[in-house]
Amino acid sequence: MPPLNGHAVKVLEDALGKSPSKIIRIEINSTIYQLSREGRWFKFSLLTKKHTVKRSTIFQTITEIYNQIIHGQTWRIAEST
């Protein structure tokens, strides 16, 4: 399935590729998530207020993550701590 917003998917791919730890945090509607590369897969995790992983889901592509979770939401790449 094609991305619902190709530019947004590219922004996420670039940010993840430039991250030395291969982990980025994304804020969606005031909730923090973590996106990381796990071999050939991508792990999308909901974080607690203390920034520990509460729940994770594995996806094949960033496009899947964007289309299923992020599209239509208010989001930004959050500052890492």
Query: Which 3 state secondary structure label does DSSP give 7?
Result: helix
Convert the pLDDT of each residue in 34-55 to its tens digit: 999 999 999 999 999 999 999 9
Q: Examine the pLDDT at 60 and tell me if it is beyond 90.
A: yes
pLDDT at residue 11, as a whole number: 96
Convert the pLDDT of each residue in 8-36 to its tens digit: 999 999 999 999 999 999 999 999 999 99
Sequence letter at residue 10: K
Show contacts of 47-53: CB within 8 Å, 24+ apart. Answer: 51/25, 51/81
Find residue 26's DSSP bridge partners. 33, 77
Sequence letter at residue 71: H
Model pTM score: 0.90
**Residue ranges per structural domain of the chain:** 6-78
